Amino acid sequence: MAIITKITTQKKTDDRLNIFLDDGSGEKYAFSVDQDVFIKYNLQKGKELDEFDIIEIQYGDSIKKAYNKALEYLSYRMRSIKEVKDYLSKKEYNDAVIAEVIIKLKDYKYVDDLEFTIAYVRTQWQTNGKGPTVIKRELYEKGIEQSFVEQALSLYTENAQIEEAISHAEKVLKKNNKLSTVLLKQKIEQHLVRKGFSFQIISIALEEVQFEQDESEEWSALEKHAEKAKKKYQNEEPYQYKMKMKQFLYRKGFPIELIEKYLDAES
């Protein structure tokens, strides 16, 4: 048995208290506890503690410290339960302590995976413009169960997805209006795939936006790329020059008849 001989407040954190014990070999510092733990276990000078008491008090204090860490982590934004567990694990709290903290956080409604999932879907859709595929993958990575993911994503209707995909497509068009029709379509498709939209939604979006260049726009885009290629191949023999120009412009997505028309006009 050991007796509490002295209790002092820590200098840097006045919500923690230092406990000094004498087990018969003289007074010495034993451990520190949070004020709530101090009150819970009715710690006071002269109280006797056995080894089991000390282990129980220190375990309770670990839970309190981990709980405070979790609250601090949650103060920045909502988190999934897995995110909180992973965070506390990195802080080197053991599984038993983490489990107790999660129970307490659930009791006080500080963590709720369904509520988190619904909020996450809305944010990633309405603020970041992501499609369902990307959102779903990110939620699974955060440890969200499938039923919650499906329930939350049901709010992201097909019409809303189409509107979002069209908005992205129009932005791509504005930035890349000098590309050929073929490359422009590819660029839009690739962008929408990366954003997480299905091929069905992408197909509908492509029908709604005017990505096909008219002949004058396509010709203007071809001329722009051809000017760059001419500088690169201007020292080639005539036959090699023509073949390399064809290959270059074809790779850029221009139709062969338009390329031939341009090269014939050069001759």
Span 204-224, average pLDDT = 75
Residue that is written with structure tokens 């010709």 in the block: 219
Q: Which residue, among 216, 215, 198, 194, has the nearest Cα to 206 in the 3D structure?
A: 198
Res 190 pLDDT > 90: yes
Same fold for the domain at 113-153 and the one at 158-208?
yes
Separation of first and last alpha carbons in the chain: 105
110 DSSP assignment: S
pLDDT digit string (tens) for 87-110?
A: 999 999 999 999 999 999 999 999
In the CATH scheme, what is the code of domain 113-153? 1.10.10
Whether 215 shows a pLDDT value over 70: the answer reads no
Q: What sign does the dihedral 234-235-238-244 (CA atoms) show?
A: negative
What is the Cα gyration radius of the chain?
33
pTM of full prediction above 0.85: no
Distances (CA, A) of 82 to 29, 66, 254, 259: 37, 15, 50, 56
So where are the chain's domains? 1-49, 113-153, 158-208, 216-266
pLDDT tens figures, 52-84:
999 999 999 999 999 999 999 999 999 999 999
**27 residue type, one letter:** E
Question: What confidence score (pLDDT) does residue 214 get?
Answer: 57
According to DSSP, the β-strands at 2-9 and 16-22 are antiparallel
Tell me the C-alpha distance between 179 and 175, whole Å. Answer: 10
Please give the CATH architecture assigned to the domain spanning 158-208: Orthogonal Bundle (1.10)
Judge whether residue 213 has pLDDT over 70.
Answer: no
Instruction: Quick: pLDDT tens for 146-186.
Output: 999 999 999 999 999 999 999 999 899 888 767 777 788 88
DSSP-based three-state secondary structure for 142: coil
Q: Could you give phi then psi for residue 241, rounded to 5 degrees?
A: -60, -45
Whole-angstrom CA distances from 242 to 143, 182, 220, 228, 229 are: 57, 22, 19, 14, 11
> 90-94, 117-121, 247-251 — which is least confidently predicted?
247-251
What does the block give as tokens for 251? 């790779």
Edge-to-edge strands, sheet with 27-34: 27-34, 16-22, 2-9, 48-49
